[in-house]
Structure 1
Amino acid sequence: MANPRVLYTDPPWLVENGVWSERLATVEREVLGPDVELRFGPYKDGRYQVTGPGMLDRSAGCDVLVVYRTQITEELLDAAGDRLRIVIRQGVGVDNLAAPLLEARGLPGYNVPDYCVDEVATHTSVLALALERQLIPQHRTLTGGTFDIYAGGTPHRTNRRTLGIIGFGRIGRAVARRLGAFYGEVKVYDPYVGRDLAEGYGARAVGTLEELLAQSDLVTLHCPLSPETEGLIDSDALRAMKPGAYLVNAARGKLVDPQSLGKALEEEWIAGAALDVFSPENPHQDPRWKPVLQHPRVVVTSHRAFLSEEAEASSRRRVAELVRAALDGRTEGHVGRVLPQGAAW
């Protein structure tokens, strides 16, 4: 029988200083051993070719697919063929795993739901406090040659303000503990979590999204992307927020409608926004993001809230260990099993 075949479709850790090299797959080769044929998606002109014939050719006859940004499709699964046993997302989000499609094919799907809780909670807190203390306008003004303590406006005491958290899973709870220490009140909206749970994290649950938006001075998103949440923050939601409120999104780009956010900033429905995620991932590929990126009351980062040396090392090892377990037929008990579409936040 042929050796097991594993395809990592678009692993970012194979790129170092702009150079791609499969020699960097040290952890994966250590864990999987010499009996596994390790494949990688096609990389050309500084990026992975996540669609097209090259990717389909690489997936042919694979036992395991490990995806990062690549979208699971019927075409990709068909190309892999009957040997395919499992699909794994090397990350927290599961929207690109196409859970209903995997369920229809009888294929288990896994993610790594908890490897970067510390990093995302920290990054969210940094984005929020940068807005509250108007750090970016201050930096630009001072480095531009002007000393002005009022550049960006005059901040408010955060201990008199209310933090609103949408989605109260692992990261939402970590944010309540960490960022919530700066705020006088913490409110939570999550229709899939019992109201009493928030009390254990020093927060209060509210019954509707509209209630949370109306009461919060800073709103941060921590829900997954699903048909239920796509475009959750649209014109209606932004109009429901306080005029002096801030929006933070380090969850999924499609949760926020870019045109609505641009208009909300321009017409001062809200005071500012901080974003780590966009759709498409690179916002320069969609002109609708341009007014947001150029707005003086916006803080942006390049989808790196999850990133640290420790988190990346943990993710790589845990995924490799899950691949090895799948090849050995012993995945029972592993965390990260993906539920069908419509699962809780």
Structure 2
Amino acid sequence: MATHQVLYTDPPYLAEGGVFDPARAVTERQVLGADVDLRFGAYGDGRYDVTGPSLHERAAGSDVLVVYRARVTPDLLDAAGPALRAVVRQGVGVDNLAPALLAERGLPGFNIPDYCVDEVATHTSALALALERQVIPQHRTLTGGTFDIYAGGVPHRLNRRTLGIVGFGRIGRAVARRLGTFYDTVKVYDPYVGRDLAEGYGARAVDTLQELLAESDLVTLHCPLTPETEHLIGEDELRTMRRGAHLVNAARGRLVDPGALHKALDEGWIAGAGLDVFSPENPHHDEVWAPVLGHPGVVVTSHRAFLSQEAEASSRRRVAELVRAVLDGRTEGLVGRVEAGVGR
């Protein structure tokens, strides 16, 4: 008989191809064991209900909540009730985990901070190189019936250009090692790490974001979403960038102001952008993104920089192991514990 209740609010891997199938939760059931009543958020019309009564009803009585895109709110925690012991984020970020709220309620929060470093660094590099080599306009031109080596413009030699990295955590460092090999110089802006750390990755730290933007030919973002970093890249920042530079964002959608980005692209302040993340997550749900998506200098993907078969399998197992540890009372020293005020 089950003695614990765990709710996974919106696990994407159980709804592949728009079909929800709880039988796919093999890993979760194996790790959590027979004493756990495993529940899932309501699914219909191709999506999970991540707010409102249906979610709150399923959360009632939960010992642990596992969230993916669903946001932790006072209403969700109230709905779960007094049995709730912890909330686990099935991912890297903490913006929807609400660490300050959890701390206020005396609840531990956890995420999986390092499961997709390889994938995001690789995807960032792919977006960057596609921009630098004008791969998308070349593809469109040739498949459209025209052979033209100049479609998209003439690229620059990368070993004479500068890569700028904003945020030097796990992924920023991996990007410096991988993508940085193509560039002459790698510069880093991160006020929360020591300046000397960049040197160990063949990079040089700068003192201000404006300095990095003004001196880089490609800028890639790898910082968490916090009140401090929301719309970190707005009109002033885009005007500071070099004409002909590119911007890559595979971190969080709200780091970039979409209206300002459209203006920068349309008026030629920058040459292009590679985007894997948006706010809202599906950019088709907000018309402000339409001119960005349609711009010829833009390369976009559907928030999948983290994705690989191996990363998904690791994330699922590690989340389930975290939940099992919480249920067993083994919370001391667990990797992934998130503290209020810490966004890294």
Give TM-score scaled by structure 2 length: 0.99
1:88 maps to a residue whose letter is V
Give the corresponding residue for 1:175: 175
Equivalent position amino acid for 2:66 in 1: V
Counterparts of 1:220 and 1:300 in 2: how far apart (Å)? Answer: 14
- Maintained 8 Å contact 2:2/2:36: no
- Aligned equivalent of 2:140: 140
Q: Which amino acid aligns with 1:200?
A: G
1:5 and 2:19 correspond: no
Task: Map 1:218-237; keep pairs closer than 5 Å.
Answer: 218-237=218-237
Q: What residue in structure 2 maps to residue 81 of structure 1? A: 81
1:131 touches 1:272 (CA, 8 Å); kept in 2?
A: yes
1:165-195 superposed Cα distances (whole Å, 9 cap, x missing partner): 0000000000000000000000000000000
Alpha-carbon distance, 1:221 to partner: 0.1
- Residue of structure 2 equivalent to 1:163: 163
For the residue of structure 2 that corresponds to 1:210, the secondary structure is: helix
Distance 1:194 1:74, change over 3 A: same
Secondary structure class of the residue paired with 2:96: helix
Distance 1:108 1:35 in 2: 22
2:266 pairs with 1:262: no
Residue 240 of structure 1 aligns with which residue? 240
Deviations 1:298-327 (A, max 9, x none): 000000000000000000000000100000
**For 1:97, what is the secondary structure of its paired residue?**
coil
CA distance in 2, matches of 1:124, 1:261: 18
Tell me, in whole angstroms, the C-alpha distance in 2 between the residues paired with 1:306 and 1:275. Answer: 13
5+ residue gaps in structure 1?
none
Amino acid at match of 1:64: V
Deviation string 1:246-292 (CA, Å, 9 cap, x unpaired) is 00000000000000000000000001000000000000011110110
Q: Is the Cα contact below 8 Å between 1:192 and 1:344 reproduced in 2?
A: no
Secondary structure of the 2:6 match is: strand
Q: Identity of paired residues, percent?
A: 76
Paired with 1:289 and 1:243, the residues of 2 have a C-alpha distance of 22
- Computed over aligned residues only, the root mean square deviation of the Cα atoms, in angstroms, reads 0.9
Contact 1:60 1:79 in 2 (8 A): yes
Asked if the contact 2:62/2:84 (under 8 Å) is kept, the reply is: yes
Matched, 1:117 2:103: no
Where do residues 301-316 of structure 1 align in structure 2 (5 Å cutoff)?
Answer: 301-316=301-316
- Provide the rounded CA distance (Å) in 2 between the counterparts of 1:332 and 1:155: 52
Distance 1:162 1:297 in 2: 19
Instruction: Specify the alignment match of 1:60 in structure 2.
Output: 60
Tell me, what secondary structure is at the counterpart of 2:165?
strand
Contact 2:2 2:37 in 1 (8 A): no
| Counterpart residue identity of residue 305, structure 1 | A
Compute the displacement of 1:344 (Å). 5.5
How far the C-alpha of 1:340 sits from its partner, in A, is: 1.0
For the 8 Å contact 1:14–1:25, the answer to whether it is kept is yes
The separation in 2 between residues aligned to 1:284 and 1:65, in whole angstroms, is 29
Name whichever of 14-23 and 249-258 sits farther off. Answer: 14-23
CA distance in 1, matches of 2:16, 2:290: 29
The CA deviation at 1:15 is 1.4
8 Å Cα contact 2:10/2:69 also seen in 1: yes
Aligned ranges 1:185-224 → 2 under 5 Å = 185-224=185-224
Structure 1 residues 37-67: Cα deviation after superposition (integer angstroms, max 9, x where no partner):
0000000111001011110000000000000
Question: In the alignment, residue 179 of structure 1 is paired with which amino acid?
Answer: L
The residue type equivalent to 2:152 in the other structure is G
- Rounded Cα–Cα distance in structure 2 between residues aligned with 1:181 and 1:2: 53
- Indicate if the aligned counterparts of 2:225 and 2:343 stay in contact, CA closer than 8 A: no
**Secondary structure, aligned partner of 2:34:** coil
In structure 1, the partner of 2:19 is 19
How far apart in 2 are the matches of 1:18 and 1:258?
28
How far does residue 4 in structure 1 lie from its aligned partner after superposition? 0.4
- By how many angstroms is 1:229 displaced? 0.1
Counting matched residue pairs gives 344
* Structure 2 counterpart SS, 1:95: coil
Structure 2 gap segments, 5+ residues each: none
Q: What corresponds to 1:98 in structure 2? A: 98
Q: In 2, distance between residues paired with 1:257 and 1:17?
A: 31
AA aligned to 1:130 is A
Q: Counterpart in 1 of 2:51?
A: 51
Alignment check: 8 A CA contact 2:214 2:240 kept: yes
Cα distance in structure 1, aligned partners of 2:281 and 2:244: 28
Deviation track 1:135-189 (CA, whole Å, cap 9, x = no partner) reads 0000000000000000000000000000000000000000000000000000000
Find out whether 1:325 has 2:325 as its counterpart. yes
Q: Which runs of 4+ in 1 moved over 4 A?
A: none
SS in 2 for 1:288: helix
Distance across 2 between alignment mates of 1:31 and 1:310 = 17
Q: Secondary structure at the match of 1:96?
A: coil
- Cα distance in 2 for partners of 1:294, 1:312 equals 30
Residue identity opposite 2:16 in structure 1: E
In the alignment, is the contact (CA less than 8 A) between 1:233 and 1:256 conserved in 2?
A: yes
